[in-house]
Structures are given as C-alpha cells and as structure tokens.
Amino acid sequence: MKHFLTILSHEVRMLLVNPATYVAAVIFLSLMGFVFTDILETFSRAAQDTSPADVFFKQFYLPVLFIVPLLTMKCLAEERRLGTMETLLTTPVTTTEVVVGKYGAAYVLYMTLWAATGGFFWILKAFAGDSRLLDPGPMIGGYLFIGVSGLLFIAIGVLASAVCRTQAVAGILCFAMLFALIFGGSYLGAATWLRADVMHPVKSAVDYAQVLQHYEDFTRGVVDFRQLLFYFSSTVLALLFSILAVEAKLLHN
Amino acid sequence: MTLSDQNKPAIEVSHLVKTFAGVTAVNDVSFTVEKGEIIGFLGPNGAGKSTTMRMLTGYMPATSGSISICGYPVATQSEEIKRRVGYMPENNPLPEDMRISEYLYYRGRLKEVPRSKLGSRIDEVLEVCDLKRVRHRIIGQLSKGYRQRIGIAEAILAEPPVIIMDEPTIGLDPHQIIIVRDLIASLRGRMTVIISSHILPEIEMTCDRVLIINQGRVVAQGTPAALRREILGHVRYEMVVAGNFERLSEALSHVYSNLSIAVPEDIDGLGFKQVVVTTDHDGELGEALLKALIDAGYRVRSLNRQRPTLEDVFLAATRRSWDVIDKK
C-alpha cells in the first residue's frame, strides 16, 4: 500500500479542482437545506414525538441515490475510456492501490458533504436556542449511520464504475444497485412468498440486510455489531469485485 | 543493481504469442535487445506492434512464450519490470485537467522517485523536452506536439533502464521531430529504447537496429544497411545518357558480369534516355560505369546510385511475408 496515499491525495485534489464537484455540492446542500427547512416548519406548527435530526436523517436515501453515482461514476470508467488506466498500471502501482485510493477519495468527499450539513444544526442552535430541538442522540446516531453506510454505498459506486466503460452507464447501474439495496430489503421483507418455511434462510438473510431498519436502530442508539459487520464485509466484497473487474478487463480487452 | 541486472540482455523475448478471442495478434515472436541499443519497431497497422509493446511492459499478459527484462521475467515479477520500464502508450493518453508540472510530480511519486530528487529531475526533463515555458499550463489546452513531448518526458522521468515508446513522433512538426530524434539519440548507450513508428526515415536515423513485423510475425530484423541488402538484394544506378543504346549492354558488360540494363522507350529532344542498371554487386560501381560509358563514346549527363530507403525495405519485407502467408 505504498502508493495508496499518493493516489488518494491526487484523487482528492482532482475532485477539488473539478467544477462538477462544486455543482454536486451545491445541489446536495440545497436539497438537504430544503428538506431541513421543511422539517423545521412542521416542527414550528405543532410539537412532534421525534427530534428534527431523526426526521432529517431519515431522508438519507434522497442524496445517496444522486450524489453517490455522481461522485463515483467517473473514477474507473473514465480512466479506462481515456486510456490513462494503461499509463497508471504500467507504473509500480497495484490494481488494489488504484481501486482503494479512488474509493478513499470518493468517500472523503462524500463525508465532507455530509459534514457540511452539520451547519444546519449549528444555525438551528444559534438562532432557535431551543435544546428540545437539538437532541444529540439521534444526531450522533444519524451521522454514524451515514458514515458506516457510506462505506458500502461508495463501494457499490466504485464497483459500478469498474465494470462499465462509460460514465453514464456506470452512473445508472450505481443508481439501480443503490435503489435495490435501500428499498429492495423492505419490499422483500414484506413479501408473503418469503414467509414459507422452506424460504426461512432467505428470509433471515433479507431481514439482516434491511438498510432502512439499520437506520432506525442507529438513531435510536442501538449500534448492533452484526449491522456494522454487514456494512464492513459488504464493502470489502464490493471492493474485491471492483479489483477483479479491473483486472479481468485487462486480461480480456 | 542486483546480480540479475548484470550481463543480461536488456530485453529477451522468446516465442511470444498473444491471441484475442481466436485472433492471433502476435505469433511466435522472438528477439533480443542488448543494453543501450535503440530498436525501431516497424510494421503495417494491425501487425501486432502495440500488443507486443504492451506485453513487454507487463500491462497485458501473453498467451504463451516468455519475456524477460534486465533478467526479470515479466510474467512472475511484473513489479520489478514496472520499476525498470518507462512506457509511453499509443496516442499518449493524459489527464486533461492537470498542469504539466503537477502531472510529472504525480507520475514521479508513482514511479518511486525519491521526493528530494523529484523537483530537480522534473526541471531536467522539462529542459530536455523543451517544455519549460509551458510547465504551468493545463495539459488539456496544449497542442498535440506538446502532449507528445509530455509523454516522452514522463517516460524518461524515473530514468528507467528500458524505455518503450509507441509512435512517439506521431503528430509532431518537422522541427519537433528533430528535437525528439536528438532526444532519443542522446539516450543511446545509457538506456535501452524501443520505438515504433510509421515514419521510416525517423527509424533509420535514430535506430541501431530495425525489427519489421507483419501479421504478428517478425519478418526481418537487423541494421538498416543489412536489411537493405537482405531484403532488396540489389543496387540500382540511374543514368541519363545519349548514344547508341543497342551497344550499351556490351559496353558495360566488362564492368561487372551480372548487370541488368533497362532502356526505356522515351527519348528527349537531345537524344538522352534515362537508363536503369541493376546489379547484385554491393560495392561502388559508379566510377567504373562512368569510365566505361565515356570510353565507349557515350555522352553522360548524370549518373547516380539510388539508395533504397527503409521504406522500400519495409514494403518489400511486408509484401514478402504476405506472399508466404498466402501460400500456406
């Protein structure tokens, strides 16, 4: 992993000098700001059971579905299309370092964008000064969930970019995979045909991979080790497949 | 330098084969390149030049056969190979949104040039490639000539013992071609260089040895002079003379026994014809021919020995190999 930091810092730099990053950031923050204002308006009208942070982080899938493909679709597909993958892999760099470096850069940027939403809570604190609105529990749980689930979401984006030759296809594939991961779980969990006894192993696997349910647990302060393991192991798996996809394309191009 | 670096040819390729989904791109290619040699790689489009070069860098695995660079086998020790090869791919892909100096710094770090040496080394290659004035420009805004030179600068950046460049002079103007040619010539003896090109005079001027491949096979290899002899096998003299053309072959026969003389029909107003004499004699016959002509009373306006260019050799060699393939 000698070159990991070189690639990581280079990729972060390239993301920071790219205007598209700022466009994505502005869209992300406006969308989240809009959601946040909407929540505050609801809260100002009538008292609610939950804290604003809880409702805010519940909308996590909105930016995930759009920002993750935007951040990751370029990383490997573009290198391959331009042919710079060839110059990159003829230096003493391994495929693993390239994939993990690019993954790391996308994750850093993703988390930076989410960290910027911390400003919303700061503004709320500065101007409302109502401690009931700022329950630290759901907030910490929410950010923790974003951080842990982001590992997997970004890895899925990198995988989509690794198997596609064009950015657009990678983006759409990433969107589809994220959609299936986030909403597929609750859809399958509700399906009656999975309730049969023979389907029991499948059913338990589906229950285990309920992203929306994980979110609920995190904001309630339940950090289950199995859920962490689910995200970490799936992330490793997605990155392994990305590395294999990049290498397979070298063998068969 | 480890033990395996010493006294080994820089590049050894034996029985290299590469097939893509049933299509054989490289078919049983073997050659050796000594340290410090500059090798020209010639071949028509689709001959397997780029594929061979990619396999040399370890980027693409071979179907069968073996390659070793500085004594290290590419198949098993590709890490070592990548440290020893500077590679500039075909079309020279570059990132669009970086400055030249930033790009070279990044590449230098990837190629494990120590941080303390990198700055001065970048200055050096920018100087050598005449890029100093544009070092802070963004690569995407530069013209083809600059981009090619960035590729060359990048290939020599880490001072690797072996440099592989796929068509380095493509898209350059004559002035820049001379710069690149001098640059490659300046590497002679220090680094082993393989370049491929379609511009044959380029290859002829810079390379110690030429390798012509066609249809995935090596069809000829050797110095440009040796190839000329081997492939074309004859020397042509062109002369413009006037006199009695019927007696011409008789008049020239005592110069050298094996001369074939072609006398064209057309004749200009003053009675001169352009006669072509072909011989398998390697040495210089010009003076003897001239003397024989004048002794026999011919009027001579000009006589010159035609130098077959590498282009003729290239065309003859590739045509010959196609004949061989067609016969099979």
The span from the CA of B259 to the CA of B273, in Å, is 18
Contact across the interface for A87 and B89, Cβ inside 8 Å: yes
The span from the CA of B189 to the CA of A87, in Å, is 25
Are residues B29 and B176 located together in one domain of the fold? Answer: yes
Per-window interface: A 75-104 vs B, CB < 8 A: 82-84, 86-93
CATH classification of the domain holding B298: 3.30.70.360
Contact across the interface for A91 and B82, Cβ inside 8 Å: yes
Confidence class of residue B5 from pLDDT cuts 50, 70 and 90?
low
Tell me the residue ranges of DSSP E strands in chain A: none
The span from the CA of B130 to the CA of B125, in Å, is 8
Is the pLDDT confidence value at B2 over 70?
A: no
Chain B nearest CA to A92, separation (Å): 5
- Going from the C-alpha of A95 to that of each of A143, A158, A240, B15, B89, the distances in angstroms are 31, 13, 10, 28, 18
**Amino acid B1: pLDDT:** 45
pLDDT tens digits, one per residue of A49-86: 778 888 888 888 888 898 899 889 888 998 888 888 88
Contact across the interface for A92 and B97, Cβ inside 8 Å: no
Structure tokens at A114: 């989410």
Percent of residues, chain A, with pLDDT higher than 90:
35
Are residues B134 and B239 located together in one domain of the fold? Answer: no
**Amino acid A127: pLDDT:** 82
Percent of residues, chain B, with pLDDT higher than 90:
16
For A41-52, what is the mean pLDDT? 81
Are residues B171 and B277 located together in one domain of the fold? Answer: no
Is the pLDDT confidence value at B35 over 70?
A: yes
For A39-52, what is the mean pLDDT? 82
Q: Which residues in chain B are contacts of A89 at CB distance < 8 A?
A: 59
Count of domains observed in chain B: 2
Is B321 contained in some domain?
A: no
**Amino acid A234: pLDDT:** 93
Chain B nearest CA to A79, separation (Å): 9
Which among A84, A87, A250 has the least Cβ separation from residue B60? A250
Are residues B52 and B153 located together in one domain of the fold? Answer: yes
Q: Which residues in chain A are contacts of B154 at CB distance < 8 A?
A: 87
List the single residue in A with minimal CA-CA distance to B63.
A251
- Contact of A3 with chain B, judged by CB distance below 8 Å, is answered with yes
Is B20 contained in some domain?
A: yes
Which among B59, B61, B91 has the least Cβ separation from residue A90? B59
Is B146 contained in some domain?
A: yes
Q: Residues, chain A, total?
A: 253
Chain B nearest CA to A136, separation (Å): 42
Amino acid at B102: E
- Going from the C-alpha of B263 to that of each of B245, B249, B285, B294, the distances in angstroms are 8, 10, 19, 18
Contact across the interface for A86 and B95, Cβ inside 8 Å: no
pLDDT tens digits, one per residue of B142-190: 888 888 889 989 999 988 999 999 888 887 888 888 888 888 888 888 8
Are residues B162 and B89 located together in one domain of the fold? Answer: yes
- Contact of A6 with chain B, judged by CB distance below 8 Å, is answered with yes
For A197-226, what is the mean pLDDT? 81
Which among A6, A17, A93 has the least Cβ separation from residue B97? A17
Question: pLDDT higher for B239 or B5?
Answer: B239
Please report which helix (H) or strand (E) contains residue A133, including its range. none
What SS3 class is residue B98? coil
Amino acid at A6: T
For B50-63, what is the mean pLDDT? 88
Show Cβ contacts of residue B75 under 8 Å, excluding neighbours closer than 6 positions.
B61, B62, B66, B67
Q: Which residues in chain B are contacts of A3 at CB distance < 8 A?
A: 109-110
Are residues B246 and B268 located together in one domain of the fold? Answer: yes
Interface residue of A3, A91, A102, A252 to substitute, partner B, most B CBs within 10 Å: A91
For B36-60, what is the mean pLDDT? 87
CATH classification of the domain holding B41: 3.40.50.300
Interface residue of B60, B109, B110, B147 to substitute, partner A, most A CBs within 10 Å: B110
For B35-54, what is the mean pLDDT? 87
Is the pLDDT confidence value at B6 over 70?
A: no
**Amino acid B203: pLDDT:** 81
Are residues B286 and B211 located together in one domain of the fold? Answer: no
Confidence class of residue A245 from pLDDT cuts 50, 70 and 90?
very high
Structure tokens at B315: 């065309």
Look at the block and give the residue holding tokens 């390697």.
B282
Are residues B122 and B250 located together in one domain of the fold? Answer: no
**Amino acid B146: pLDDT:** 87
pLDDT tens digits, one per residue of B158-169: 889 999 998 888
What SS3 class is residue B12? strand
Are residues B203 and B106 located together in one domain of the fold? Answer: yes
Which among A14, A17, A86 has the least Cβ separation from residue B59? A86
For B246-261, what is the mean pLDDT? 77
Which among A14, A82, A89 has the least Cβ separation from residue B93? A82
Is the pLDDT confidence value at A243 over 90?
A: yes
pLDDT tens digits, one per residue of B68-104: 998 889 888 888 888 889 999 988 889 888 899 999 9
Chain B nearest CA to A90, separation (Å): 6
**Amino acid B240: pLDDT:** 85
Confidence class of residue B322 from pLDDT cuts 50, 70 and 90?
low
ipTM: 0.84
Are residues B254 and B198 located together in one domain of the fold? Answer: no
The span from the CA of B41 to the CA of B62, in Å, is 19
Are residues B189 and B145 located together in one domain of the fold? Answer: yes
For A16-37, what is the mean pLDDT? 88
Domain region containing B214: 3-222
The backbone torsions φ and ψ at residue B316, rounded to the nearest 5 degrees and listed phi first, read: -65, -40
Interface residue of A16, A86, A87, A96 to substitute, partner B, most B CBs within 10 Å: A87
Q: What is the largest CA-CA distance in chain B?
A: 78
Q: Which residues in chain B are contacts of A84 at CB distance < 8 A?
A: 93-95
Are residues B240 and B201 located together in one domain of the fold? Answer: no
Q: Which residues in chain A are contacts of B58 at CB distance < 8 A?
A: 90
**Amino acid A184: pLDDT:** 85
